[in-house]
Amino acid sequence: MSKKVIVLGEVRDGALRNVSFEAIAAAKKVSGDGEVVGVLIGDSVQDLGQELIQYGADRVVAVEHPHLKHYTSDGYGQAFMAVHDQEEPEAIVFGHTALGKDLSPKIAAKLQSGLVSDVTEIEGEGDDAVFIRPIYSGKAFEKVKINEGPVFFTVRPNNIEPLEQDAGRSGDVSTVSADIQNLRSVVKDVVTKATDGVDMSEAKVIVAGGRGVKGPEGFEPLKELADLLGGAIGASRGACDADYCDYSLQIGQTGKVVTPDLYIAAGISGAIQHLAGMSNSKVIVAINKDPEANIFKVADYGIVGDLFEVIPMMIEEIKQLKV
């Protein structure tokens, strides 16, 4: 049976996040040949609708309100429910982002539906779709099939291939008016920490450093390598605890979960809590002086050596390739 699927497009700093396009590709699989409707929530987001359509949505519904300028679960919850009640979809897709992780359980509770969170792969299509998600910190995978009720799932960023953008594709972008009221909190302003470089959660390449970088200055060659590869910097908790870098860079069980195409781990031992955040990366390169380091167990390519010798060599090689 074909399904109507609604997909929440996520906007950050006035632009759609990649995970929105990945969620549309996932929605297409689940819809069979049904309709995929993009949802945009904000105070001035309607103009982004055509981009969602170019990535595969059939049409887009936007909810705009001054109180939706910044995310609150109350405000976005009311806005999303307004679209839901109008569209009456059979399936819902969110990104498994900070926003998606906060909002999806609230919506699932309101709808009294189940929720399959953190999906990394979908086997089959339409009613036969089987959702694959990591469990036990990525040590095993669970396959979930939904036999009845609404199909509600979140997709982990960087795992599901988005459809190719088709600039010639167009569709209807309409608005739903929602009376956003009784908010328990209103965000007046968001002060973002100044960061340079690429956002780790959507980076295709991450160069991560551990306690082996020996100090804040030890991250400099890693930053140079990351910049050359168009990637982001990450860290182990060991490096964060030692004050070599900010905790916002921490990857792992109590940090961020990332799945880039390439993960370079330098001076990281590979504790189970670190692996929980990066072991699903597509290609893992580990650089460590200790040939017995646990990180080599998950690495596709292992380099036994001093990172302060290996990373400059990598930088030189890449510069040569770029000439």
Catalog residues that contact ligand FAD under the rule CB under 6 A. 210-212, 236-239, 250-255, 267-269, 271, 273-274, 277, 287-290, 293, 306-308
Q: Which is nearer to ligand FAD, 171 or 216 (CB)?
A: 216
Q: Which is nearer to ligand FAD, 104 or 269 (CB)?
A: 269
Please tell me what DSSP assigns to residue 81.
H
- The vertex-23 CA angle with 131 and 172, nearest 5°, equals 135
Q: Which is nearer to ligand FAD, 149 or 312 (CB)?
A: 312
Tokens coding 200: 């780790």
Query: Is 106:77 a contact under the CB 8 Å cutoff?
Result: yes
Measured from the CB of residue 264, what is the shortest distance to ligand FAD in angstroms?
Answer: 12
What span, in angstroms and rounded, lies between the C-alpha atoms of 209 and 72? 34
Q: Which is nearer to ligand FAD, 171 or 305 (CB)?
A: 305
Q: Which is nearer to ligand FAD, 104 or 279 (CB)?
A: 279
Measured from the CB of residue 294, what is the shortest distance to ligand FAD in angstroms?
Answer: 8
Radius of gyration of the chain from its Cα atoms, rounded to whole angstroms: 21
Measured from the CB of residue 313, what is the shortest distance to ligand FAD in angstroms?
Answer: 13
Tokens 């049976």 correspond to 1
Buried b (16+ CB within 10 A) or exposed e, 36-66: bbbbbbbeebbebbbbbbbbbbbbbbbbbbe
Measured from the CB of residue 219, what is the shortest distance to ligand FAD in angstroms?
Answer: 12
Measured from the CB of residue 295, what is the shortest distance to ligand FAD in angstroms?
Answer: 7
